[in-house]
Structure 1
Amino acid sequence: MWEDYPLIPRGGIELKRGKNYKEKYKMIDRTSLYDVNEAVELVQKTATAKFDETIEAHIRLGVDSRHADQQVRGAIVLPNGTGKTIKVLVFAKGDKAQEAKDAGADYVGAEEFIDKITKENWFDFDVVVATPDMMGVVGRLGRVLGPKGLMPNPKSGTVTFEVSKAVSDIKAGKVEYRLDKTNIIHVPVGKASFEEDKLLQNLNVLLDAIKKAKPSSSKGQYFKSITITSTMGPGIKINPAKI
């Protein structure tokens, strides 16, 4: 049986699947592809940890991220938020700095944050927003922010003069979606404590946005696989043909 085999994560350290995980696994028919609403119901049933687990969607697309004309990237505001309090750092000056503060940004400034990040290894923030005129300053952080996925980008709406809207959207539950090197998109869509209909609505909004972002050069099946999972639970596969 599958439970007799160890779980080998990155790094090669052998781990055994826990008893709770095995019990959750038994609730799922691994040969089935579920409808979206059935998958959401199941993912909440398997989210039994003592903390409020995050629900994530993992979507493999039939595109090749190595080609510029097949990139899939964008950002949306989930109608019911992510359930997480997001800390926002804004690089701006003058009136735009005050605008960011009034919108609820957690940290607002300019050059002073360069040293704080590079010399103090400070990363007490989740999203970085910058006005276009500040990108010369922020660019010096490219090697630090880039690998962490924190570099501001016009495509995700984080390089903008509309800092008030950017901060408000992020605080309300804006999430960015983009392909990784294996052509998979990973996005949090809420918490296990959400009401089922709200979690379902978030997921459907995400899937609809990705569907609309399909590159014109993409041929064949677009949604290859869709899996949702809780932080500590097994993956539940959704039937991509019904999206």
Structure 2
Amino acid sequence: MANPRPFLAPLSRIGASSIAIPRAEIIRPSILPYQTLRCASQKSAAPKKKKKTRNTFLQYDLKHAEQFALVDAMQYIRAFEVGRNPASSKYEMHVRLRTLKNGPVIRNRLRLPHPVKTDVRICVIAPPGSKAAEEARAAGAVLVGEDEVFNQIKEGIVEFERCICHIDSLAKLNKAGLGRVLGPKGLMPSTKTGTVVNNVGVTVRNMVGASEYRERMGVIRMAVGQLAFTPEEMQKNVKAFMDTLKKDIAQMQDRISKEIHEVVLSSTNSPGFTLNGEFKNANSIPVKELSGPL
């Protein structure tokens, strides 16, 4: 019988580590965290309620806002405009209204006691050779006629800032189809804006030096003076603008409610200063110091 020791010796050399399964290959059941376990009977979260949209413009409380007299506001504005040409920078009024977002807006034209811009180019659409055409040229219109004017506008040549149409030429103007060119520029004559008239001469004379204003996003902006204007000249212009604006608001009371919330004076290169309605106060500088050069 063969001795079994030679066979047992090689088997003894095989250790337990050589037949063990690697740890990486051991499959273990994964344990899901508690947060990922959900019950089928759990109700879904309720949808969030939509916030109601505002139908009015957001207004700020002016009780704690610093407000200035006209002379003081002009003093600070002129400090921001030092070194600039007084004729190039202008005083601007910003009137914030309490009004609805969707509603009729204020739009008008005003000739200030001291005009800000006197080189306005006006176009008049009137029959050539008519009395209206002669009155328009005498009043200072730079372009007068019908077919020639229509052809220039269709070619894209619009070298004027105002456009007036005589009532006899209204049908011909509508037939020419110039609304696509003049409409986006705000130059299309219409009866609502008072640019379709019978008396062309008077309208042109009133437009020379006149300023237009229109409500946008609850705010009305208009240039009310040049930096070279004296405080007295500015006071007359501001008063004329505010009086006309109050009349516009009164005429719209039957359709929509509008109220003046804030009046701000600024310039081309300065921030705005809220006005308190006073001309000057006890601590204001002498008016003469604001009447000279910057």
Please classify the TM superposition score into its range, dividing by the shorter chain length.
0.7 to 0.9
Give the equivalent residue in structure 1 for 2:153: 117
Residue matched to 1:73: 107
Quickly say closer, same or farther: Cα 1:135–1:216, change in 2 above 3 A: same
Q: Which amino acid in 1 is paired with 2:236?
A: Q
Question: Tell me, which stretches of 5 or more residues in structure 1 are unaligned?
Answer: 1-29
Letter in 1 for 2:81: A
Q: Is residue 144 of structure 1 aligned with residue 178 of structure 2? A: no
For 2:48, the equivalent position in structure 1 comes to none
Contact 1:75–1:157 (Cα < 8 Å) also in 2: no
The question of whether the paired residues in 2 share the 8 Å contact of 1:78 and 1:206 is answered with: yes
How much does 1:165 deviate? 0.8
Does the 8 Å CA contact 2:117/2:210 hold for their aligned counterparts?
A: no
Question: Matches of 1:45 and 1:162 in 2, distance apart?
Answer: 45
User: Aligned equivalents of 2:179 and 2:125: distance in 1?
Assistant: 14
Q: TM-score, normalised by structure 2?
A: 0.63
Name the count of aligned residue pairs.
207
Of 236, 260, 264, the residue aligned with 1:223 is 260
The corresponding residue for 2:210 is: 174
| Residue 95, structure 1, aligned to residue 144, structure 2 | no
Residues 54/186 of structure 1: CA separation in 2 closer, same or farther (3 Å cut): same
AA aligned opposite 2:222 = V
The aligned amino acid for 1:73 is: R
Higher relative contact order (CA 8 A, sep 6+): 1
**Contact 1:83–1:191 (Cα < 8 Å) also in 2:** no
Shift of 1:241: 11
**Compared CA separation, residues 132 and 47, structure 1 to 2 (3 A):** farther
Residues 74 and 32 of structure 1: is their aligned pair in 2 closer, same or farther, counting only changes over 3 Å? Answer: same
* Residue 236 (structure 1) aligned with residue 273 (structure 2): yes
Q: Is there any run of 5+ residues in structure 2 with no aligned partner, and where?
A: 1-63, 280-294
Question: Match for 1:177: what amino acid?
Answer: Y
Structure 1, residues 107-156: CA drift from partner, whole Å, max 9, x if none? 1111212221221x222211111112222343422222222222223344
**C-alpha distance 65-92 of structure 1, shift in aligned 2 (>3 A):** farther
Separation in structure 1 between the aligned mates of residue 269 and residue 230 of structure 2, nearest angstrom: 19
Q: Name the CA shift for 1:45/1:197 in 2 (closer, same or farther; >3 Å).
A: farther
Indicate the residue corresponding to 1:213 in structure 2.
248
Query: In structure 2, what is the equivalent of residue 63 of structure 1?
Result: 99
Cα distance, 1:187 vs structure 2: 1.2
Provide the TM-score with structure 1 as the length reference: 0.75
- Which deviates more from structure 2 when the two are superposed, residues 159-168 or residues 230-239? 230-239
Taking the TM superposition and a 5 Å limit, the aligned residue runs for 1:148-159 are 148-159=185-196
Change (3 A) 1:224 1:126: same
C-alpha displacement of 1:37: 4.2
Q: Check 1:92–1:108 CA distance in 2 against 1; reply closer, same or farther (3 A cut).
A: same
State the Cα distance separating 1:45 from its structure 2 match. Answer: 3.9
| Counterpart secondary structure, 1:89 | strand
User: 2:80 is aligned with what amino acid?
Assistant: T
Between the aligned partners of 1:106 and 1:202, the Cα distance in structure 2 is: 27
Higher helix share: 1
SS in 2 for 1:235: strand
The secondary structure found in structure 2 opposite 1:83 is coil
1:167: Cα distance to partner? 0.8
Distance change (3 Å), C-alpha of 1:204 and 1:46: farther
1:195 aligns with 2:243: no
1:107 alignment counterpart: 143
Structure-2 separation of matches of 1:241 and 1:212? 21
Name the counterpart of 1:46.
Answer: 80
Distance 1:206 1:82, change over 3 A: same
SS in 2 for 1:147: coil
Whole-Å Cα distance in 2 between the matches of residues 123 and 87 of structure 1?
10
For residues 189 and 122 of structure 2, what CA distance do their matches in structure 1 show?
A: 11
RMSD of the TM alignment (CA)? Answer: 2.5
